[in-house]
Amino acid sequence: MAGLNAVGDFELSKAELITSSGMVVDLSASIINITIFEDTTMSSLTGDILLQDSFALTSVGPIIGQEYLKLKIKTPSITDKDQIIDFTENVFIVNSLESRIEVGNSVTSYLLNFTSSEIIHNARTKISRSLKGSYSDIVKIMLGEVNCKKKKYIEPTSGSKRIVAPNIRPFDVIKMAMKQSISKFTQKSNYLFFETLKGYHFRSLQSLYAQSSTQTYTTFIAGSSIENGTVNIQKELANVLDFEIIENPNSIVNYTGGTYASNLIVHNIYSKSYKKYTYGIFNEFRNENHITQYHKKNKTDFPIYSHVMVDEKKRTVQDFPARTFVTSTSSLNDIDAENSTENNTFPFTPQNTQDWLQRRVSQKIQLEQGLLVNILTHGNTIVSAGDIVKLDLPFNSSLKTTKNEKNDRFYKGMFLVKRLRHDFDFGEKKHKTHLTLVKDSLEETLDGPENNPEPKPKKFGGLVEDREDFYPNS
């Protein structure tokens, strides 16, 4: 990468603090570390900046948690504006000062916590009115309420809706819309609302899965990236410095949470009737869109759960709907009979929870209890939360498989960047990135016997219920 002398290099172009008194302070000479967090489950960026101060800035400034922070950092080779951390116009807001310690020689170290300005505007604002239009249109209105001037990635939603906001914050309205949104492009649900360094995102999980990979990560033998006496920077950026597998599917959570199966009862208040819907992960898998499907030539992928039969009745895990949802609607011929206009017309569509609720719950749990791994890499500003990356972790075993696999069968292929943390160390002058990656499907089906019932003894173990067994000395 031209302009990049070593992996982890970064350039700090600006770090200015505007205090509540109007003083503008250049922090570049005082910074020890900067950390920035992106998360697909969070509605704003957060971060902290560790400073050492010999000018009593906390008192002179003063610093009271009402400051503005202008920050611009980039990877030296990057010229694309979307891949540069530039918050010189859309500034961060410092929301707290903590961990203040005297380190000697009249030097104080302390940590400034900062966040996106939109979350502060959200805390100041309440919405008490009726909102009409598609959910994506309502989201645009709510981002306007928090004075968002950043780039917005808003996937259009289908249907005309009406939301009555009962004195709640704009982001609470967006979260209401997020749960029920259906994509206009794919008619799929599972929307997310989050912020990255690129801007704000209101889009379906499937739209994230459909993206091209931005980076490949794998492990290398020490020194293997040196070619002709020079470090291959491009190869080294793909190096996984460390990794930790943090989560595998939890069957108890999957049964009780509704990942494997669930029932839904929808009570129609208008027609005085109800319908029951049953969700099974294997039955519905092909009706959903999972990550691997978008990145295989034959467009096929498989669940991360085994479809083996688990009892003598030849039932699989999807045959135990241990969770039941109950919702209400007021609809007639796909018209929301509960909400009307001033002219007594009914242009709005009902919630139709049967189209999204069970699938959303199942896939949401898979993102929390699926195949998750933390990796540590050399930092760059190209990869963001919500991106797709390719991962290949080694297959560690003293025994060879029949296929002589070199990579772990579960932790290979395309992964979603669920969250990440940028660490800029000004002592070492290095940038590292911690990423949490997740996937919800496999490239090949899980093999197993046709039947795998729980081993149980044929004879009953007996029943103890006599008084002398419990009170032998009475």
**Mind listing the pLDDT tens digit for each residue in 224-270?**
566 665 667 788 888 999 999 987 889 999 999 999 999 999 999 98
Q: Does the structure show a pLDDT above 70 at 154?
A: yes
Torsion (CA) 178, 179, 181, 182 in degrees, nearest 10: 130
What is the predicted pLDDT for the residue at 362? 96
Q: Does the structure show a pLDDT above 90 at 342?
A: no
Over residues 413-467, the pLDDT tens digits come to 999 999 999 999 999 999 999 999 999 999 988 887 777 788 888 888 899 999 9
| pTM for this predicted structure | 0.91
Residue entry with tokens 């500003």: 381
Q: Which of 37, 119, 36, 22 is CA-nearest to residue 68?
A: 22
Domain map (residue ranges) of the chain: 11-116, 125-210, 251-364
The answer to whether the CB of 415 falls within 8 A of the CB of 375 is no
- Which residues partner with 258 through β-bridges? none
Based on C-alpha coordinates, what's the Rg of the chain? Answer: 27
Element (H, E) at 179: helix 170-180
d(CA 50, CA 31): 6
Instruction: Give me the CATH code for the 11-116 domain, please.
Output: 2.40.10.10
What is the predicted pLDDT for the residue at 229? 58
Q: Does the structure show a pLDDT above 60 at 402?
A: no
Q: Does the structure show a pLDDT above 90 at 294?
A: yes
Element (H, E) at 434: strand 430-439
Tokens read off for 125? 């604002």
d(CA 445, CA 63): 57
What is the predicted pLDDT for the residue at 404? 56
DSSP 3-state assignment of 323? coil
What is the predicted pLDDT for the residue at 403? 59
How crowded is residue 268: how many other Cβ atoms within 10 Å of its Cβ? 16
Cα 106 versus chain centre, distance: 43
The answer to whether the CB of 323 falls within 8 A of the CB of 260 is no
Q: Which of 393, 384, 441 is CA-nearest to residue 418?
A: 384
Torsion (CA) 318, 324, 330, 331 in degrees, nearest 10: 10
d(CA 259, CA 320): 11
Q: Does the structure show a pLDDT above 60 at 397?
A: no
Query: In the chain, what percentage of residues exceed pLDDT 90?
Result: 65
Q: Which CATH class is domain 125-210?
A: alpha beta
CA distances from 297 to 209, 300, 333, 438 (A): 15, 8, 39, 21
Over residues 166-189, the pLDDT tens digits come to 999 999 999 999 999 999 999 988
Q: Does the structure show a pLDDT above 70 at 137?
A: yes
d(CA 198, CA 420): 14
